Structure 1
């Protein structure tokens, strides 16, 4: 699949924000670990393996045909960033640095919430990365 319907992307972002909000407010690091598993499965096996998308799919079926899409490559980049933040969060917890663990988790939650609200931080980073690569290739 080269494109991912926006409703699926929003379902994933909503799941991320919800789980992280609960994890941070109730101080439940194991929920962050569960979210890592959900996001890593999506990264490794594609959007169909993402639990949030699987749950939302039956509810969104009628909207998919007419919905806009996002590039799968961009979503994979964003998912990689998210798994990275969750990994740093879990490593922080493993070292006993709870505050850092919640900060990394909060950064991912803030990025997902901003994407829901219309500004994709990961998309901006992806664009800058692609620009950097294009300039680097042109120098050679």
Structure 2
């Protein structure tokens, strides 16, 4: 599946706003809502991610066609990384360990901000490296 990279940047911008709100309020419930968004994109695909739906229905029809499309696998992986940080942050906030909640949320915010402002998807850049490493590990011959 191919996706419009502008939609990914839109989703990253909305995610950034959500994560800033989490840092300002310290609300694990807001972070839980963002975790649900990450989970939907990760497990069901970007097509079913709420921010992607908003982009596809309300914004993309008003834009010219994208100059290029990109493979959906790297951004989907990036959503999974975001989910991991959101879950760690939720645990921190919920258990009264604010430094853990703040740290994990700030990491997710940093990655989302890079994508929203500069079009640099950190998780997307990690994806081929991790694939290469796991492929080498899988194909490695084990001595008898």
Q: TM-score, normalised by structure 2?
A: 0.85
2-side partners of 1:64 and 1:10: how far apart? 16
Q: Which residue of structure 1 lines up, in the alignment, with residue 113 of structure 2?
A: 113
Q: Unaligned stretches of 5+ in structure 2?
A: none
- What are the Cα deviations for residues 66-117 of structure 1, in whole angstroms up to 9, with x where unaligned? 3422211111211110111101111112221112111101100101111221
Q: Which residue of structure 2 lines up, in the alignment, with residue 8 of structure 1?
A: 7
Contact 1:5–1:64 (Cα < 8 Å) also in 2:
no
Q: Which residue of structure 2 lines up, in the alignment, with residue 133 of structure 1?
A: 134
Shift in Å at residue 127 of structure 1?
Answer: 2.3
2-side partners of 1:126 and 1:87: how far apart? 20
Q: Which residue of structure 2 lines up, in the alignment, with residue 48 of structure 1?
A: 47
Contact 2:28–2:94 (Cα < 8 Å) also in 1:
no
Whether 2:30 is the aligned partner of 1:31: answer yes
Q: Which residue of structure 2 lines up, in the alignment, with residue 63 of structure 1?
A: 63
Q: Unaligned stretches of 5+ in structure 1?
A: none
Q: TM-score, normalised by structure 1?
A: 0.87
Shift in Å at residue 28 of structure 1?
Answer: 2.5
Contact 2:19–2:31 (Cα < 8 Å) also in 1:
yes
2-side partners of 1:87 and 1:132: how far apart? 25
Q: May I ask how many residue pairs the two structures share in their alignment?
A: 139
Q: Which residue of structure 2 lines up, in the alignment, with residue 94 of structure 1?
A: 94
Shift in Å at residue 137 of structure 1?
Answer: 4.5
2-side partners of 1:64 and 1:56: how far apart? 13
Which aligned segments of 4 or more residues in structure 1 are displaced greater than 4 angstroms? none
